[in-house]
Amino acid sequence: MRYTIMNNEKHILITGFGGQGVIMAGDILGTAATLHDGKFATMTQAYGPEARGGACSAQVIISEEEVLFPYIKEPHVLICLSQEGYSKNIGSLRDGGMLLLDADLVRTKNISSDVTAYNIPATRFAEELGNKMMANIVMLGFLAAIYDLVSAAALRKAMLTSVPAPTREINTRAFERGSEYGKATLKSRAKQGRVARD
């Protein structure tokens, strides 16, 4: 089963380094919520000193009601596309939160048993499709499959209007690859009796 939103606001922190499409992922998520799912959303972003290669993050809040404060202290969902992003932010993930990691770029240890963690080979999948810069889209596809945050259809529509027209087909494949992996992961965990709580 997918996670179900239990209160009005959900806080999502996406971290990585410049050039990975972290900010774009946050923008797509917010656009999906507001333009296609009829919800409220805010997105703030932060960059390191370098435009490409430096640390960056996107903070997205999605709610059924107007968002009054746009900054995140304890995210419900933490998505890490870099080791630095993980190391800097893992301590802020709230109890019962969800952690999405790029399996080839992030190494973890001593993750709280109260956190539901997923290792997704997002960069590897993107490279297999021909462009490792689509790892952000793979992650969004995975997120859509496992978490009832915004609908998969809304995320797909927002993605298609955010990426360059010549890349829409391959980005759609990246989104679907992430979604398929998410569904397969849920099915595997269900068989093992490890389905996350609603």
CATH 3.40.50.150 for the 7-191 domain, yes or no: no
Mean pLDDT (whole number) for 60-69: 92
For residue range 88-133, list pLDDT tens digits in order: 999 999 999 999 999 999 999 777 788 999 999 999 999 999 999 9
Is the pLDDT reported for residue 136 higher than 70? yes
Region 32-61: mean pLDDT is: 86
Neighbours of 74 (CB within 10 A): 13
As a whole number of angstroms, the distance between CA 4 and CA 183 comes to 15
The size of the chain, in residues, is: 198
Work out whether the CA dihedral 5, 138, 17, 44 comes out positive or negative. negative
